[in-house]
Structure 1
Amino acid sequence: MWKAGLILLASATGAQAAGCNGAALQFVESAPRDRFELSIGADVLRSVTVDLRGSKGQLIFDTANGGTGVEVFQPLRDEGGTQAGEVADGAEVIKVALRDARAGGRAAFSIDVDDRLTASELGQIRVTGGEMAGASATFETEGGEMLVAVFDGNNRAVHCP
């Protein structure tokens, strides 16, 4: 049974745009830090896991200078409502704990995401929606349920009950 909701941004994006009170995660390509933005919908969430392994862009988290990624790198950083930890350079999966993630609240975190395509639309340093497509987000509810959603070509992962 679905217990938690995550609605993104004040505009009608994410789950609201899909016509449900479900869970959603929005990736925002930006410089120098890429962001994942969320706002809590129906219940309490413990964490969100971002898994880039299925992404069309063969995406990775670029967290260290001279590592797997290209040029700019940024470690995981709390942008409000998360508990940022260490992420290995080149990792494809991260789990971010949420602080006090109750209905109506907001949270965000930032990190650098790069693609590994040889012919990338905007270069490996920037990620397009088509490159994020196929990655997944798993939302863990306070009750331990795992809600899985796959990112679409608009950089959104939406889970509707």
Structure 2
Amino acid sequence: MKTLVAFTAATLVFGSAVLADLNVQFIEGAPKDRFEISSTIDCLSGPFDITIDLTPSAGALIFDVTEQGSGVEVFQPFELVAGRDLVSGISDVKDGDQSLTLTMTQLPMGMPISFTIDVDDTSSARQITVNGSEIAGAEVHMSGNGTVQSSVFDAEARAVIIGSGCAS
């Protein structure tokens, strides 16, 4: 019954839109942390932007991309490792920044985008290790065609945007 209610609500909000999901997962790693972005539908075409905003995270997270600056110990610059053909632009990420934006040409189902970067926690003694509860509250925004949809990372380090706007 909950699924039917959610589908009905999405149909009312998006007109004849099909319920769609954009999934973003943060994976803590050493020496590189990883973000994976994927779609469970096959109609996300661009251009559209996906912004990851760490500002509201529980751990006051930052991107640590240079040896000098706000980060701690190990640093890793942004590196796009999968889905290069689907990304047409990447915002400049400076050390200590809390957000980055990818401009997408499309995001077909089964073709994930992933990138590595170092993420540091500025609110605890374990600054170089970030767990799901520390990224909780960070946001993902998907914008295109005059609309913006958002989701919040949960304690499992995952954010899901439901009803990403594919027209039927």
Normalising by structure 2, we get a TM-score of: 0.75
Contact 2:90–2:101 at 8 Å: present in 1 too? no
Per mean C-alpha deviation after superposition, the further-off stretch among 63-72 and 74-83 is: 74-83
Instruction: Give 1:51 deviation, angstroms.
Output: 0.4
Q: Give the Cα separation in 2 of the matches to 1:69 and 1:59.
A: 10
Instruction: Give 1:110 deviation, angstroms.
Output: 1.2
Identity across matched positions, percent = 38
Question: Structure 2 regions of 5+ residues with no counterpart?
Answer: 1-13, 164-168
More helix, by proportion: 2
Instruction: Give 1:44 deviation, angstroms.
Output: 2.1
Contact 2:33–2:117 at 8 Å: present in 1 too? yes
Larger Rg: 2
Matched, 1:64 2:88: no
Normalising by structure 1, we get a TM-score of: 0.78
Structure 2 residue aligned with 1:30 = 29
Task: Give runs of aligned pairs for residues 1-161 of structure 1, distance below 5 A.
Answer: 1=14, 21-42=20-41, 43-45=44-46, 46-81=48-83, 82=87, 83-119=89-125, 123-141=126-144, 143-161=145-163
User: Letter of the aligned partner of 1:86 in structure 2?
Assistant: D
Q: For each residue in 1:79-115, what CA deviation from the matched residue of structure 2 results, as whole angstroms up to 9, or x when unmatched? A: 1223445311000111122354234422111111000
Instruction: Give 1:78 deviation, angstroms.
Output: 0.7
Q: Give the Cα separation in 2 of the matches to 1:130 and 1:2.
A: 35
Over the aligned positions, Cα root-mean-square deviation in angstroms equals: 2.4
Question: Structure 1 regions of 5+ residues with no counterpart?
Answer: 6-19
User: Letter of the aligned partner of 2:32 in structure 1?
Assistant: R
More strand, by proportion: 2
User: Letter of the aligned partner of 1:36 in structure 2?
Assistant: F
Contact 1:4–1:22 at 8 Å: present in 2 too? no
Q: SS where residue 94 of structure 2 aligns?
A: coil
Contact 1:61–1:111 at 8 Å: present in 2 too? yes
User: Letter of the aligned partner of 1:61 in structure 2?
Assistant: F
